[in-house]
Amino acid sequence: METLAPRSVIYRTGTRLASVGVITVIGLRQLLVAADIDPGPIVWAAAIAMAVVISAAIEGAAVRRVRFALTPAGLQLEQGVLRREARRIPLHRIQRVDIAQSLPLRILGLATVRFRSAGGGGAEAELRHLRRADAMALSDRFEAIDQPEQQAATDTRDGEEVFRLDRGGLVRAGVYGVDLRVLGGITAAVSTVGPSIAEQTAIGATAVRWVTADVGTLAGVVGLVLLGAWAVGALRRMVRFAGFTLERTSDGYHYRGGFGARYQGTIPAEKLQSVQLVDTPVSRRFGYAALTVQTAGGVGGSGGSTTVVPLAPRGEARTVAQAVGVAPASRLRRPPLRARQRYRTRVTVLVLAVVGVVWLLGGWLPGWAQWWAPAGLLGPGLWLAGLQWRHRGYHIDDERLTARTGVLRRRTTVVPLEKVQTVRSRSTVLQRRRTLASVGVDTAGGAGATAIDMDARAVEGAMETIRDPFSRLDPLSLAPR
């Protein structure tokens, strides 16, 4: 059986110290400061050295205990130090072998290998880490075992480039993209570490006094933080999608990209369940959209969803969707006008409820706060309700279901009817009052789409259209009659 690369101990030790050691040091320092104890630099250095040695010993033992073998029967994996574990994964359960490299792994010449299954988005098994050449050889060996007859056949389109992100597209993908995770990380860091820095350091106290000196300064700092979060998010997207390409292969579509942290993988064509066009208000204003595909099983580490077009003109993204065999409908039908009235009524009731709660709590509010102030949210809320109605739509024909929803992140999902496993309809009390209902479909791996707030009188016909492909299949084998 094969083993992991010995130098993976270096990377695993570093990640363990970065994730656990930093938090431990911060917490220990807080306790020592509270107890008015100063151990001195020598003690701190000795403690850090001991932590490094202990972490390296733990990771070294874990690496030496990992044994694996890929055979025609499947993957055999043995791992664990205190708790030994032996697994046997049948080959038919493994859909794809993905290889990923962060920047530190590239420096060390290592790669992470993930075995993806058909049951969900997570990895069925993960090898951390192999030498890059060994990882590539393992992926090639899986291809040779899994599809020997396909490799013997020739495909004139094998290696055909379907999409390439050029430099201009990379810049637009970063600038037009909005990564709220960066702002969330900044908020979490400020809320957890900020108070300690402000109380225990002179620089922190001075910064707090300067920021809170007047409203203008505070607004300016908040604006700079938002601008910085946007810039960091744009840089992260550019680093992630640098050199991104999508190529057609004999068994599907191969993608690769990344600057520093390289990644690559293959989307099996027979496992593709749906595609999704995604745009934001900024990218929509300039006519750009991204394209993702959903598969039966995890590809790329994102719950079965893989980006195949980071950002491109909307027409080009639709062309790529057509190339992979799932093209969205050209025109969608909006929900009836009574659905817009339902959205506006919901917003009005919610705002009035908030005003009522604030009025009841008036005795506990500061003197400058007015109980009627939340009523100012009614105008923006009604405007957003109108946008919600405008950006929703659906289309159902003999080949596919296309459904669109969302305002800040609008998603147009296309599901081929041949991939549908279940059909469902739903109508809430408020929907039934306005003769509305929603029709949804589910596919393997959790992918699906829902046509929201369509006319309830058309639901039965829509469901019959979606179910019609099932009538041409054998109920046991699901093969064509």
pLDDT in tens, 346-387: 999 999 999 999 888 876 777 667 888 889 999 999 999 999
More confident residue, 296 or 199: 296
Give pLDDT, residue 361. Answer: 83
pLDDT in tens, 54-75: 989 999 999 999 999 998 888 9
pLDDT recorded at residue 233 = 85
How sure is the predictor about 476, in pLDDT bands with cuts at 50, 70 and 90?
very low
- Confidence class of residue 299 from pLDDT cuts 50, 70 and 90? very low
pLDDT at site 368:
66
pLDDT(180) > 70: no
pLDDT-above-70 percentage for the chain? 83
Q: What would the mean pLDDT of 425-432 be, rounded to a whole number?
A: 92
Range of lowest pLDDT (79-83, 286-290, 473-477): 473-477
Q: Answer for the pair 400, 329: CB distance below 8 angstroms, yes or no.
A: yes
Average pLDDT over residues 212-216: 69
pLDDT of 113 > 80? The answer is yes
3-state SS string for the chain:
CECCCCCHHHHHHHHHHHHHHHHHHHHHHHHHHHCCCCCCHHHHHHHHHHHHHHHHHHHHHHHHCCEEEEECCEEEEEECCCCCEEEEEEHHHEEEEEEEECHHHHHHCEEEEEEEECCCCCEEEEEEEEEHHHHHHHHHHHHHHHCHHHHHCCCCCCCCEEEECCHHHHHHHHHHCCCHHHHHHHHHHHHHHHHHHHHHCHHHHHHHHHHCCCHHHHHHHHHHHHHHHHHHHHHHHHHHHCCCEEEEECCEEEEEECCCCEEEEEEEHHHEEEEEEEECHHHHHCCEEEEEEEECCCCCCCCCEEEEEEEEEHHHHHHHHHHCCCCCCCCCECCCHHHHHHHHHHHHHHHHHHHHHHHHCHHHCCCCCCCCHHHHHHHHHHHHHHHHHHCCEEEECCCEEEEEECCCCEEEEEEEHHHCCEEEEECCHHHHHCCEEEEEEECHHHCEEEEEEEEHHHHHHHHHHHHHHHHHECCCCCCEC
475 pLDDT more than 70: no
State the Cα–Cα distance between residues 130 and 18, nearest whole angstrom. 21
Q: What is the pLDDT of residue 141?
A: 86
Q: Is the pLDDT of residue 455 over 60?
A: yes
Res 479 pLDDT > 70: no
Identify the pLDDT of residue 303.
Answer: 47
